[in-house]
Structure 1
Amino acid sequence: MSEIRNYKGKCLCGEVSFKAETPHKDVGLCHCTMCRRWNSGPFHVVEIPFDALSFENGEESISYYRSTDYARRAFCNNCGSSLFYHGDQIPEISNKVYLSAGLLDEPTGLKLAGHIFCASKGDYYEIEGDLPQHENVG
């Protein structure tokens, strides 16, 4: 069984703050075109169960952008921070969110585990190192 971790975090302006108690998962780095456009670069994510995420304040300040017919992206409508990706119309992952690792209060105890959607990475950088690289989803 995975170790349970308690995370806290907030957006750039602090309007949206949250906590999550969840089994440990390390950080994935998504290189898909949509994540790069949404996040202005590869998107560092931590997968957590949707029901493990609770908002301490600012839930009313969260806006959603439906980026596809099957997923939405959450952001703070005050400062614009990218909060999480939610494949709410994808049965296999509708019970999970992919939280922006950059929002978490440190120390997180996390490490980068690998890369996904490498086939669509930007042409302005290289993926270096020995971590797993998946052409599409890992």
Structure 2
Amino acid sequence: MSKPSSPLVITGGCNCGALRYSFTLPESRQLLLANNSTCQCTLCRKFTGTVVPDLILCQVSWMTSPLIHKSPEYKTYDSNVLPDVTGRRGFCSNCGSSMCYHTQSIEELTWFAIYLGTVDEEILAGKAIGEKDGKYGVRTERQGGIGHVLCDTTNSGHLFVENAVPGWDMKGRKIWRMDEEKWFSTMEEGREK
């Protein structure tokens, strides 16, 4: 996929609206993205309540609104996935929405990964332009939406696939465990010793 014709602005936030973000993907970024992934570690699953959480890596320099990390509603659940690495999973203390993941302290923050479920509906699914009666009742008609692009991991990959759910289709490269640093193409290849 080619570069967007203009910088791509991504907005999102938590359920209650206390935490909002906006960032701009630089024009130099290619679509399909290479800075998104799924994480299948047990901590991310339990934190988000989903089998395969999707994330997009965001540089702090891309932010066009204040960092959510500095809001009084922003809290973290800290854990160690790997030795000597503190994983900080950010959430809204008002509504409990899982927002992001980072390993750096707020003072040193240069990047963080946003859970794609927090991206605004108009960006993921498209803008609602009307309703239409269908076989199963009224359906919202939508236009636009780039969720399929943001969630496509063909050029990026999947993390902690040692926990993968059998039969789940994962496009893109895979890594069995983050501490092994060896990427592979198929689950079968990853199981080889």
TM tier, smaller: 0.7 to 0.9
Q: How far off its partner does 1:43 sit? A: 1.5
- How many residues matched? 132
Task: Indicate if the aligned counterparts of 2:54 and 2:117 stay in contact, CA closer than 8 A.
Answer: yes
Larger RCO of the pair (alpha carbons < 8 Å, separation 6+): 1
Q: How far off its partner does 1:130 sit? A: 4.2
Where structure 1 has 5 or more consecutive residues not aligned to the other structure, the ranges are none
Cα distance in 2, alignment partners of residues 56 and 96 from structure 1:
11
Query: Secondary structure of the residue that 1:37 maps to in structure 2?
Result: helix
- Is 1:117–2:160 an aligned residue pair? yes
CA gap 1:128/1:66 in 2 versus in 1, 3 angstroms: same
- Greater Rg over alpha carbons, structure: 2
Where structure 2 has 5 or more consecutive residues not aligned to the other structure, the ranges are 124-144, 184-193
TM-score (norm 2): 0.58
Task: Indicate if the aligned counterparts of 1:33 and 1:121 stay in contact, CA closer than 8 A.
Answer: no
User: Aligned match of 1:103 in 118, 123, 137?
Assistant: 118
Between stretches 109-118 and 95-104, larger displacement belongs to 109-118
Give the structure with the larger helix fraction: 2
- Alignment RMSD (CA, Å): 2.8
Task: Indicate if the aligned counterparts of 1:31 and 1:43 stay in contact, CA closer than 8 A.
Answer: yes
Amino acid at match of 1:101: L
Same amino acid, percent of matched pairs:
23
Q: How does 1:1-138 map to 2 (within 5 A)?
A: 4-23=7-26, 24=29, 25=33, 27-41=36-50, 42-53=52-63, 54-55=65-66, 59-68=71-80, 70-88=86-104, 95-105=110-120, 106=123, 107-108=145-146, 109-113=149-153, 114-122=157-165, 126-137=167-178
Cα distance in 2, alignment partners of residues 31 and 129 from structure 1:
11
CA gap 1:87/1:129 in 2 versus in 1, 3 angstroms: closer
TM-score (norm 1): 0.78
